[in-house]
């Protein structure tokens, strides 16, 4: 059996093992660790979880999520109803600042507004991603803060040094240009990748993270 077959089989097994994913209409393709997911799933959370499951597999370097969300008839929500539900969810989440709003079109949600740091933007996404009727999510929220970006590189590097998932001999480098952090270097797994990116978004003053990390698998 080839390594390509090994990785594809492992991804299929991980998808089947994950109770949050209905694999009945998902097909997996793999080329040298570049995995593509094709087919349909019945909800947006399953769309996200399928990609997360694939990234957990050793040897996977990238995941191209081509899955389409096809809602069951009973899960359909018209645009006004979904818009109201999403804005109510944002309002109820105390970690999402006032002024962040959602609009829906054909089940596709768009978030707009301004937050102070990346974690607030993530909180807004998490608030609405699991709502019934969501087919896709676009985040147009802007990050704006008066914090001085000078110390951002040091803050991120210190965080990487603390994280258990990131080895001491990691060659990940952090560069800051204004309020944009660029990450480069090698990580072994997607879990390590996500830990690095998450650390980069933490400091106040980071408006964007450019991800140039390479997952070795």
Let me know whether 9 and 56 are in one domain.
Answer: yes
96-130: pLDDT as tens digits: 999 999 999 999 999 999 998 888 999 999 999 99
* Residues pairing with 175 in the sheet: 182
Quote the percentage of the chain above a pLDDT of 90: 67
| Per-chain mean pLDDT for the chain | 91
- Give residues with Cβ within 8 angstroms of 17, minimum separation 6: 53
pLDDT beyond 80 at 217? no
62-65 and 101-105 as β-strands: parallel, antiparallel, unpaired?
A: unpaired
Cα gap 48→16, rounded to integer Å: 15
SS (H, E, C) 103-150: EEECCEEEEECEECCHHHHHHHHHHHHCCCCCCEEEECCEECCCCCHH
pLDDT beyond 60 at 2? no
Q: Which of 29, 44, 69 is the last residue of a domain?
A: 69
How many residues are recorded in the chain? Answer: 217
Residue 40's CATH number = 3.30.1340.30
- Take residue 180 and report the two structure tokens written for it: 């944009």
- Give residues with Cβ within 8 angstroms of 210, minimum separation 6: 180, 181, 182, 183
Q: Which of 96, 118, 143 is the last residue of a domain?
A: 143
Q: Which of 53, 69, 85 is the last residue of a domain?
A: 69
Residue whose C-alpha is closest to residue 59's, from 4, 13, 12: 4
Give residue 173's domain range.
149-215
Let me know whether 40 and 94 are in one domain.
Answer: no
Cα gap 88→109, rounded to integer Å: 14
Higher-confidence residue: 177 or 18?
A: 18
* Residues pairing with 155 in the sheet: none
48-57: pLDDT as tens digits: 999 999 999 9
- Take residue 189 and report the two structure tokens written for it: 């797994």
Residue 87's CATH number = 3.30.1340
164-173: pLDDT as tens digits: 888 888 899 8
Cα gap 41→47, rounded to integer Å: 6
What is the SS3 assignment for 102? strand
| Count: domains in the chain | 3
The CA-CA-CA angle for residues 179, 166, 194, to 5°, reads 55
Predicted local confidence at residue 147, as pLDDT: 60
Let me know whether 80 and 134 are in one domain.
Answer: yes
Predicted local confidence at residue 203, as pLDDT: 80
Q: How far from each other are the two terminal CA atoms of the chain, in whole angstroms?
A: 18
């Amino acid at each position: 059996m080839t390594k390509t077959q090994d990785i594809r089989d492992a991804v299929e097994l991980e998808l089947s093992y994950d109770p949050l994913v209905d694999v009945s209409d998902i097909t997996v393709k793999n080329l040298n660790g570049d995995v593509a997911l094709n087919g349909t799933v019945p909800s947006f959370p399953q769309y996200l979880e399928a990609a997360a499951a694939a990234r957990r597999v050793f040897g996977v370097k990238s995941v191209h999520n081509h899955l389409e969300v096809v809602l069951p008839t009973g899960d359909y929500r018209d645009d006004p109803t979904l818009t109201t539900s999403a804005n109510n969810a944002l309002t109820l989440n105390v970690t999402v600042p006032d002024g962040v709003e959602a609009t829906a079109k054909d089940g596709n949600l768009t978030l707009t507004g301004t937050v102070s740091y990346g974690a607030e933007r993530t909180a807004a996404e998490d608030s609405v991603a699991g709502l019934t009727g969501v087919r896709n999510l676009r985040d147009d929220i802007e990050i704006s803060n008066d914090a001085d970006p000078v110390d951002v590189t040091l803050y991120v590097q210190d965080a990487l040094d603390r994280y258990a998932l990131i080895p001491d001999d990691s060659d990940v480098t952090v560069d800051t240009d204004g309020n944009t952090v660029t990450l480069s270097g090698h990580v072994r797994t997607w879990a390590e990748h996500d830990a690095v990116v998450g650390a980069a978004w933490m400091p106040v003053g980071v408006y964007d993270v450019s991800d140039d990390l390479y997952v070795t698998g």
